[in-house]
Chain A
Amino acid sequence: MKRRHFLKELVAGAVASSVLKSSLAEAAFSAQTAQRYLRPPGALAEEEFESRCIRCGQCGEICPNRCIEYFDLENGIDSLNTPFIVPRTKACILCMKCGQVCPTGALKPLERTANDILTHVRMGRARVEESLCLSFQGKTCGVCYRACPLQDVAIRVGLLEQPHVLDGCVGCGLCERSCIQLPQAIKIIPNHIIKATAS
């Protein structure tokens, strides 16, 4: 992966210095990591995912919830036509069909069992914005907890149904989808952003 970065920068640099402006080359060769999108469940790490995914579109075509969308050019040319999920629009229901149909293993083939999902799926992690959350404002809500498919593993509620995200959260986004606040008080922080900020 180191070598590839070097090659990328080499090419980007060469292009920038010769023909194009550097900003254009940067847009073409680097993804905007700030964009908040999730990869479908069981996806490999971002860079590996992009090299594995052949953009056949089968994951979206099998999704019973039609929550998988495809990038155009907005996330850089490297992610052109790759699948993503915006949980606030439509969240993943963890049916695991997309991984089973993926021909390249860019999405790992997993069974729909708690064990497989908890060990292999990490789309992101939910984060509660306490200043927006109704329960933290004293108005008992608890919708996110009710929407969670992994109750008491991924999220638990305390006093006044105040949500607390646990380590079991896989980032499916059903809590963010169902949050009745606008803007939503619970958000999934995608795995690639967590990793980028951690390193």
Chain B
Amino acid sequence: MSAIRKPFFLWRHLNKLRWLVLSLIFMMLVFLPFVHVYQTYVASFSYDLLSENEKELFDIMAALTSPLTDNPADDLDAIKGNTWSGNFFGYQISDPLAVVGQVAAGLSVYWPFVLTALLPVIFTLLFGRFFCGWICPATFLYELNTIVSLSLQRAGIKVGQRRFDRRLKYLVLVIGLIISAISGSVLISVIYPPAIIGRELYFGIALGGVGAGLVFFVLTLLFDLFVSRRGFCRYVCPGGALYSLLGRFRLFRIRRIVENCNDCAKCNAVCEFALDPLHDDFGQECNNCTACIAVCPTDAMTFVIRPVDEPNQGPGHLGKKYKRQQQQKG
């Protein structure tokens, strides 16, 4: 019998780090439109023409950015955009779905743009659907929405628990690309929540008005609340589908240590994507969010470096089912 292994003690805390990253990225998306508004005030030398609120914003932003730069109108251009496509100190990073959608819509390949998705693609090949759990600004809101749904449940209001076929989102991806190709317009960006969040936050803060995208996003929140928990990410999101396909043979994946497992199924309950960690069925859709590692009471979940999942290892050795099996054998 192999020695009982303990997972590296830090893996358990990765879920907190993930929440930190998600909130930082969301705060960044809220902060950047304010930066832009401040830049336009600076560029137009219009401090004396601003209203009281605008002056307040100007003063706050000036206090925040003056240690970093004395030429805010130009220097603060270093970080622009959102998770759909952004500019980070001169390096353009785009969502792979943006590239695929653009190729479908234009029926042509513009290489400088394709290369902007290189970094996310490499990371997805290594870490799987990590974007969905660690970066996506919509995930941040959807997970808060899950908390709302839990408190609604506690208050006795019925929330949606329906399950659909997870393969639906691949169909959405294909249909979205076909519609983009037929219309000659990157329409897949219209149904992709992280792109919507990035845009609508900018529209709302800097341009003073929100568009149809926000209506769509609120509908997805209601869908998650009253039809199916985390339903959009699980069953509909075209970006999630693309990341899942890219992350099928990811190198870093979570694995169950069968010797430590007691079949409590908390991992299955906590999994945002309705996967089946208890029976070693992580599959291509695991986003390495590490919620199952954090929740496991017996340290039975850990990270391993290998391109495929373990086949089903059977019941956990600390569980009743395994003991019964052993007794029958013995």
Contact = CB atoms under 8 A, between A and B. Distances in A.
B145 interface: no
Contacts of B146: none
B202 A52 contact: no
Contact of B184 (A55, A69, A78, A105): A78
A7 B40 contact: no
Interface string A45-74: 001101111111110111111100110110
Interface string B178-221: 00001111110110000100110011001100011100000000
Contact of A81 (B33, B44, B116, B213): B213
Contacts, number: 133
Given A8-B182, A56-B81, A58-B86, A77 B202 contact: no
B192 to A, nearest CB: 10
Interface in B211-234: 211-213
Contacts of A149: none
Given A29-B183, A60-B207, A80-B190, A55 B195 contact: yes
A60 B202 contact: yes
Nearest to B32: A61
Contacts of B116: 103
B187 A80 contact: yes
A77 B106 contact: no
A56 B98 contact: yes
For chain B, which range describes its interface: under 10, 10 to 19, 20 to 34, or 35 or more residues?
35 or more
Contacts of A20: none
A54 B102 CA distance: 7
Interface in A75-103: 77-81, 97, 101, 103
17 contacts: A11-B182, A50-B185, A52-B102, A53-B186, A54-B85, A54-B98, A56-B94, A56-B199, A57-B203, A58-B81, A61-B32, A64-B43, A65-B40, A66-B207, A70-B211, A78-B183, A101-B80
Interface of B: 32-33, 36-37, 39-40, 43-44, 73, 77, 80-82, 84-87, 92, 94, 98, 101-102, 105-107, 110, 112-113, 116, 182-187, 189-190, 195, 198-199, 202-203, 206-207, 211-213
Given A51-B105, A65-B40, A103-B112, 15 more contacts: A51-B102, A54-B84, A54-B101, A57-B81, A57-B202, A60-B206, A61-B202, A63-B40, A66-B37, A66-B206, A77-B190, A79-B185, A101-B87, A103-B94, A105-B112
